[in-house]
Structure formats: C-alpha cells, structure tokens
Chains A and B, each alone.
Chain A
Amino acid sequence: MDIIIRILYAVISILVATVWGLTLTGIVRKIYARVHGRFGPPVWQPFLDIIQTHSRRVAISHGYMFFLGPVFRFAGGLGTYLFIPVILGSTVFGNFSMGGDVLLVMYFIFFGQLGMALGAGEGGHPYSPMGIARGLSQMSAFEVPFSLAIISVAIQYHSLNITTIVQAQQGSILNWTLFTNPLAVIAAMISLLGMNGHAPFSIVMAPQEIPIGPPIEMNGSFLGILQTNRGLFAAAKLILFMNLFFGGAAHPNILVALLIMMIKTFFIYMFSVFVGASFPRFRPEQSFRFFLKWPTAIGILAILYIAYL
C-alpha cells in the first residue's frame, strides 16, 4: 500500500513539474516575442504543440535505437526530477531525495543526452550527428564549471544530499548559498546558460545553422516525448538550482511553498532569458572555450575559497 501511495505522489509531482516547465517555456516564448516587437504565441502554445505532435497519424522509425532515443531522453528527465526534493519536508513533493542524490542527479542530466545521441544517430541524417557532436562537446564544457560549483557546495555543507543542503540554507535569506558562497553560484549560473541552450549557447539546436540539430528525424510521438521532456527537464534543472543556491522552497502550507518554487524558478530562468535575448550566438569553438576559461577559473576559486578561507 505504501508503495502505491509513493507512486501516486510521484505521478502528481511529475505532472505538476511538467505543466510548470511547459508553462515557463510558453512564457519565455512570449517574452522573446515582445523583445522582438511581436505579440508572440499564446502561453499555452507548448501544450497545443504536444497534442499536435502526438496526434500525427503516422510516424517513421529508423530502428530500435531510434525508438529508444526519446525514451532514454525522457527517462533522463524523469530521473533528474525524481531525486530532487521540490518542497522541503513535503511528502508529495519531497520525491525520492536521499543521501548522495546530487551525484545521481548530475549523472541523470548526462544520461538523457547520451541516450538521445544514440537514438538520433540512427536516424541517418547527416545533420543529427553534427548536432550531437556539438551538443555533447558543449555539455562536457559546461559540466566542468557546474561540477566545480557542486564540489564547492558539497564541501561547504559537508553533504551530497540535496535535502540537507536546502535545510542548511533555511532561516534567513543571508543563509542562501548565493550569499555564503557567491563564487560557486556565479560559476553554476554561467553553466546554466549552456544547459538551457538559449543564446549565446544555442548552437546545438540552431534552426538556421544545422536544421534543428539532433532531433531532425524525430517525428510524431517521438518528437512529442522530447517536447514533454523539455518541459519536465527545464523544471527539474531550475528546481535543482533553486535548491542548491537559492534556499529551496519551504513553507508549512504546500500551496504557498509551490508558489515560492514557481517565483524562484521563474527568476532563475529569466537570467538565461535576459542573456539570451541580448546576446548573439557563439560559434561552437567559441562556446566551448568560453566555458573552459572564466567559469572554470571561478569554479576553482570557489573551491579554494570554501576549503581554505
């Protein structure tokens, strides 16, 4: 009985995160449109797109791995999300947080991309391996500052458990990692720019450069799964950042706590939207070099600062 309730809670939690992630995507599209001086699509456009892609009458598959690619990607998104506590101390939104879940989450962030790379490679279109090569190199590049920031945070709180890290930040706004360990937050926020894939790091999926990149052959429900995952994964990443650096969401009333989560994730996302709306796109080699220079240096400084000062 207990396991059924846990599953039910996980389903509710996943649904809320997916809907919030997709709504955020819709809001962001609207904001980009207003920056361009357009009206932009309605906020609920991502939901319509997902219904539309799932309702295609035929779907072309290119083999087993092609079939499994989106499944792996979605499993990566689910895995990332299910080990992050959305609301501190909540039974429904606590998910399956446990000791060492930071490492598990970092692994799952990479796992989905690798599965997708295998699947998209079987599509046979020359642009998809090109997109994959760019995507994986950019990912390896931004993982460096991100990992350094995580190591710094782990040293700071003597823990690899997200729940413990969030608990340590409670009490006052000055307890947030943002104020206790600002260098790690700067390094991680720069790597978030690469993770979210907005400009200047949008080379992987850039429609004008290599048409749409890895998912070029994905159609119908395959694409629908990828889009759903994009919503869930966006929410998962933002919630992870909120937990590690911005104090998490904690309130006795679950609705207030959800509202806090939404406000915080919205503003964390807005950081990469503001940067994305104001900067042009980097070429691949510029993007990799950028991550391996300043953010990496800041990440190393963050570790030194926490370990020796």
Chain B
Amino acid sequence: MEKKDLNEIEKEMKLANEGLPEKERILFSDARPSRVEPLNKYLEQFVNWARARSLWLLAFGTGCGATELRPLMTSRFDVSRFGIAGRPTPRQASVFIIGGYASIKTIKRIVRSYEQMQGPKYVIALGSCTINGGMYYDSYNTINRIDYYIPVDTYIAGCMPRPEALIAGFNRLKEKIQKGECDGMNKYADNFDWYKKNQKQIIKDWNMPDYNW
C-alpha cells in the first residue's frame, strides 16, 4: 500500500513534457531539477573563492545590451584581467548576462540556455528593461521583469549602462559569490513550479521539454 503511494507521488513529481509530441516524449528526460547542497563550510569557501575568480560568460547576446559586452573583451576595458572569459556553450558557462529587453521569442531561448547551464550558475540582469521593462514597459512582445522567469543575482541599472558599470556589477557578483550568497540554481529548483507557471504564461508555443537537461 505504502509502496503504491510512493510510486504515485513519484509519478506526480515527473514532468509531463506536454509541449512535445507524444512519440518524442520518450526521447527527453522527465526528471525535475533537484536541490544540490553546498559542500562543507571551509571547502565551499575555498571553491567559492575560485569560482569568483573564474567567471565564464555565456556568449549569447539577448538584447541591445550585448553591445556593451564587446568593448569589455577588447583592450580598453579588458575583463580577462578579472578572470572573466567568454564560453560559447551553455554547458561550460557559469554566468548568464541578460543583455537588456527580452522579447517573448528570446525568453524561450533564455530559459533553454539557463537550464542547460551546469550549476552553480549566476545571472546578471543588465539594463533597465530587465528590471521593470524600461522603455519597452508597455510593449506587446517583451517581458517586464526577468526575475519572474529565472532567478537573478545582480542587477545593473541604466539604459545603456557603460562598460564601467558592468565591471562594477561583476565585482558585486564576485563579492556575493565569495560570501556564498548566490544560490540561484537551488532557488530555481525549489521554486520550479512557480517559475514554470510564469514561463508558460508568456511562451505560448511551448514545444520543448519542461526542463532542458
């Protein structure tokens, strides 16, 4: 009796993947993301120290704010001296910069890329559009607050923020990582249903698995 109950609970915990055609569902994982606890205190402190000094950006410009990322890489601002480097694939990246407004088409890709990143993962929301919609606050095809859809660690306000502001934002993120305050990965896993509900309200043509492993 007890076993059956457990099975039922487990079945409920599985993701339905309703957006996929029935024959394709078997090809995708239906597991939910789960919480991963940090290591013991001193080990985690050491690891966070290294994580803060080796930030790998996902090279995916999601809006006009991505323009500000180019000068960061070149000789004038050169973020590589802070240990920040671009990575072309979400599998290896640890920082996701939401560069300004996110249109509904883009938010789908943002969710996919964010979920494919391997935790611990950090999100920097760049520009006013990610905080309250900015100049696109009443647009029919952009979202106003990015933190309804993915957890955000640091905001950089402005339209556009200068590269200096971005570097200040990176430093803020580094401080937070070192203190162990950036736990967006577990926040996403804990509040998974809430985030999914918000995402599905916006993304009408949901034709991907519920969690992109």
Which A residues lie at the B interface, using CB under 8 A?
29, 33, 36-42, 45, 48-49, 51-53, 55-60, 207, 211-212, 216-220, 223
Contacts and interface: CB of A to CB of B under 8 A. Distances in A.
Given A56-B120, A58-B118, A220-B118, A212 B88 contact: yes
Given A38-B81, A212-B89, A219-B118, A51 B54 contact: yes
Per DSSP, chain B at the interface is: loop
B36 A216 contact: no
A37 B77 CA distance: 11
B89 to A, nearest CB: 5
24 contacts: A29-B80, A38-B75, A38-B78, A38-B80, A38-B81, A39-B78, A39-B80, A48-B50, A51-B50, A51-B54, A55-B39, A55-B50, A57-B36, A57-B120, A58-B36, A58-B119, A59-B118, A60-B91, A211-B88, A212-B87, A216-B88, A217-B91, A218-B91, A219-B91
A40 B87 contact: no
Contacts of B36: 57-58
Contacts of A39: 78, 80-81
Contacts of B56: 52
Nearest to B48: A55
Contacts of A57: 36, 38, 118-120, 185
Contacts of A45: 53-54, 83
Given A33-B78, A41-B80, A45-B53, 19 more contacts: A36-B74, A38-B74, A38-B78, A39-B81, A40-B80, A45-B83, A48-B54, A51-B47, A52-B47, A52-B51, A53-B92, A56-B118, A60-B118, A60-B213, A207-B59, A216-B91, A219-B91, A220-B118, A223-B92
B104 interface: no
Nearest to B50: A51
B85 interface: yes
B61 interface: no
Contacts of A55: 39, 47, 50-51
Per DSSP, chain A at the interface is: loop
A59 B92 CA distance: 10
B50 A41 contact: no
Contacts of B92: 53, 212, 218-219, 223
Interface in B84-105: 85-89, 91-92, 94
Contacts of A217: 89, 91
B86 A207 contact: yes
Contacts of A42: 81, 83
Contacts of A216: 88-89, 91
B94 A52 contact: yes
A219 B94 CA distance: 11
A49 B118 contact: no
A239 B72 CA distance: 37
Interface string B23-46: 000000000000010110000000
Given A36-B75, A55-B47, A60-B213, A211 B118 contact: no
